[in-house]
Amino acid sequence: MGAPTVDKDKASERATTRRITSNIFKGSVGNLIEWYDWYVYAAFAVYFSAEFFPSGDPTSRLLNTAAIFAVGFLMRPLGSLILGRYADRHGRRAALTLSITVMATGSLIIACTPGFETIGVWAPIILVVARLIQGLSLGGEYGTSATYLSEMASSGRRGFYSSFQYVTLIAGQLIALGVQIILQQLLDEADMKSWGWRIPFVLGAIFALTVLWLRRTMDESDQFTTMSKESSAKAGTLRILMQHPKAVMTVVGLTMGGTVAFYTYTTYMQKFMVNTVGIDKSTVSWINFFALLAFVVLQPLAGALSDRIGRRPLLLGFGILGAIVTVPLFMIMQGTKNPVGAFLLMMVGLIIVTGYTSINAIVKAELFPTEIRALGVGLPYSLTVAVFGGTAEFIALGLKNIGLEQVFYYYVAACIAVSFIVYWRMGESSKTSHIESELLDSKLDGGAPALDETVAR
C-alpha cells in the first residue's frame, strides 16, 4: 500500500514541477521579447539617429535619440498604474497578454516610419509616440511579470525562479545585440543607416505574435485565484497602495542606485566605448554581447544564492562595491584602447550590479500583499526608473557634450550610495515575505495546498 502512494506522490510532484517550469518559461519568454523590443532602439540608435535627426554632430544626434529613450520612460509609471491595477483586479495572465500586444504595436510603428527627409518633423514626432506606447507597455510588464514569476515559483526557490526576469531582460538586450552583429556582417554602414536598422523592429513585432499565443495558455497564479472576495473588491487601487508607505519607499530606495547602475553598465556602456574610448562599433558590439552573455549566467546563480543566505547580503555587496568601484572603473576604461581590457572592466561592473538585478524582483514582490502586489511592485519602481534609469544615458551624454563627462561617474556612485543606506536599514525580505505568510494563512484556514507548497513538500 505504501509504495503506490509514494509513487503517486512523486508523480504528482513531477507534474507540479513541470507545470511551474512551463509557466515560468511562458512568462519569461514574453518578458524577453518585451525587452528585446525596448533595447533594439538603444542598440540601433547609432545607425538611425541621422535618419530622424539629420543635422548636427554625432554626439548631438545621439543626444536627441537618448532624449527620446528617456521620454519613453516617462510613460512607464502610467503603464504600471494602468496594467498593475488591471493585473491585481483581473489577473496576471490577462495583463501580461495585453502588455505584449501594446509593445508589438510600438515596434511596428517605428519599423514603418519614414525618415526626416521624407516627412520632415513628423518623423521624430512619430518616433516619440511609438516610444511612449512602448513605455506604457514596459511599465505594466515589469511589475506584473515580477509578481507572476514570484508567485508561481516554489517556496524556497523564489530567488532562483524570479531571477529569470532579469535573465530574460538581459537576454532581450543580448538578442538585440546579436541581431545587430549579424546585420553588421551582412550589410555595410550605408545600408545599416538607410534601411537595415528597420529589420530588428519588424522582427520584434513578429516575435510578439508568438508570445501572444504562449501567454494566452499560461496558468493564473494560485495567489490570485485564491484571493478572497473582500480583497478582490479593493484590489489594485492607489488607496490600498498608500496603506503600505514603508514598502513603497523601500522600493524607491531599493531601485534608485540599481537602475542607474544597470543602465550605465549596459545601455550607456556601448555608446561610451564608441564615443569616448574610441573602439569601433563592430568590436563594441562583440564586447557587449559576450559581457551580457556572462551577465545572464550570473543571474540564476546569484538568485539561488539568495535562497540560501538571504537577499540582503547581495544588496549590501552591490551597494558597497558599486559606490567604491564605479569612479575608478570608468576612469581606467576611459584610457583603455584594448578590447579585452574593456571587456574585463565591463564585467567587473556587471558582476557588482548582479547583487541587485538577480533579486530585486522577488524582494519587491515580498513586500506587498496579493491584492496590491503588481501595482506595488510596478508603480514606485517605474517612477524611480523614469527619474533615474531612463535619464542616465541622457545625463551622461549631456555632461560629455559640455566637457564634464567625469561628473557622471560620481553621480552613478552617489546614487548607489543612497541605495546602500536603504539596504542597510531594511530587513531580510525573505523572512517577512507576504507571499509566504499568505500561503501559511491559507493552509491554516484549511484551504487547498498552494502550487508551490506542493513542490516544497
pLDDT for the residue numbered 73:
73
Residue 12 carries which side chain, given as an amino acid letter? S
Q: What is the pLDDT along the chain (457 residues), one digit of tens a residue?
A: 555 565 666 666 777 778 888 888 888 888 898 889 888 887 788 788 778 877 666 666 677 777 776 777 778 889 999 999 999 988 998 999 899 889 889 989 999 999 888 888 888 888 888 888 988 898 888 889 888 888 887 778 889 988 988 898 888 888 988 898 899 889 988 899 888 999 999 999 888 888 888 888 888 887 888 776 667 767 778 888 999 999 999 999 999 999 999 999 988 888 899 888 888 888 888 898 899 899 999 999 999 999 999 999 999 999 999 999 999 999 999 888 899 999 999 999 999 999 999 999 899 999 998 889 999 999 999 899 888 987 888 899 889 889 899 999 999 999 999 999 999 998 888 888 888 777 666 555 555 444 444 333 3
pLDDT for the residue numbered 376:
92
pLDDT for the residue numbered 202:
92
Measured distance CA(89)–CA(231) in Å, rounded: 9
Specify the fold of 26-218+243-451: Growth Hormone; Chain: A; (1.20.1250)
pLDDT for the residue numbered 451:
42
